[in-house]
């Protein structure tokens, strides 16, 4: 390994870079992404006969039907893992409200006029909570459809409502997912680097998440000062 590389939080850092996501956070994110994409594709196959061809790509209808609920449970537990790591970061603050007031400048790439953001900006937090609460609806309705005899759904005529709620929550996640992918890969240049490799340039962190960058800098200075004694 080159002598100018420092390893921190499972991430290789070079001069002028900062850790954006730890190895554990990246593993959680990609487990969530892979399981969600499978659920998205298999769910669309079941949603409409015009999309049933997707099931053949996934190994056939019976195979997709078998794995869909199991992968759904994997996705749910990964979301809970993510929540245990990031729930404290996702609380809406006054700084987030200020950021929202400058969202027009954000979407028109006038970064110098956007209010500073913390580790996650308000848009990212909205995506997170949309996925979190939709996941709760999906897992509850999904288990009820998986085992309808648990509460006699058919006998009480509740199955159509359960199916509707499951589809509605899925559509919310699909819309949020599409926006998330576009913003993370296309709109904000350099964002993908952080979730792939864990590090981003200091200039990127200062521009897009200034409050978080300044907090990390203060913590680093404090740690260095403590180690000197």
Q: How far apart are CA 113 and CA 101, in angstroms?
A: 11
**What does 209-229 look like in DSSP terms, one character per residue?**
-HHHHHHHHHHHHHHHHHHT-
Number of CB atoms found within 10 A of residue 172's CB: 16
The pLDDT tens digits for 140-197 are: 999 998 888 777 766 567 888 899 999 999 999 999 999 999 988 888 877 888 888 8
Domain map of the chain by residue range?
Answer: 22-75
Residue 22 pLDDT more than 80? yes
For 60, the 3-state DSSP assignment is coil
pTM: 0.87
Specify whether the CB–CB gap between 208 and 188 falls below 8 A. yes
For 96-149, the pLDDT digits (tens) are 999 999 989 888 888 888 899 999 999 999 999 999 999 999 999 999 988 887
- Of the candidates 48, 44, 42, the one whose C-alpha atom is nearest the C-alpha of residue 63 is 42
SS3 8: strand
Which residues neighbour 90 within 8 Å (Cβ) at sequence distance 6 or greater? Answer: 120, 125, 128, 129
13/21 Cα distance (integer angstroms)? 12
């Amino acid at each position: 390994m080159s002598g100018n590389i420092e390893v921190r939080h499972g991430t290789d850092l070079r001069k002028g870079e900062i850790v954006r996501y730890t190895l554990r956070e990246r593993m959680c994110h990609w487990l969530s992404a892979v399981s969600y994409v499978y659920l998205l594709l298999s769910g669309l196959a079941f949603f409409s006969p015009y999309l049933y061809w997707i099931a053949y790509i996934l190994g056939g209808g019976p195979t997709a039907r078998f794995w869909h609920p199991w992968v759904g449970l994997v996705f749910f537990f990964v979301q809970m893992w993510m929540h245990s790591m990031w729930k404290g970061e996702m609380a809406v603050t006054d700084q987030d409200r200020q950021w929202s007031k400058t969202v027009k400048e954000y979407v028109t790439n006038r970064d110098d006029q956007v209010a500073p953001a913390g580790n996650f900006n308000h848009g990212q937090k909205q995506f997170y909570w949309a996925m979190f609460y939709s996941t709760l609806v999906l897992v509850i309705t999904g288990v009820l459809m998986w085992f309808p005899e648990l509460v006699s759904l058919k006998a009480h005529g509740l199955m159509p409502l359960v199916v509707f709620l499951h589809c509605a929550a899925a559509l919310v996640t699909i819309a949020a997912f599409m926006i998330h992918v576009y913003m993370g890969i296309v709109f904000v240049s350099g964002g993908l680097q952080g979730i792939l490799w864990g590090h981003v340039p200091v200039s990127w962190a200062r521009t897009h998440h200034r409050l978080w960058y300044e907090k990390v800098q203060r913590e680093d200075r404090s740690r260095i000062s403590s180690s000197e004694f």
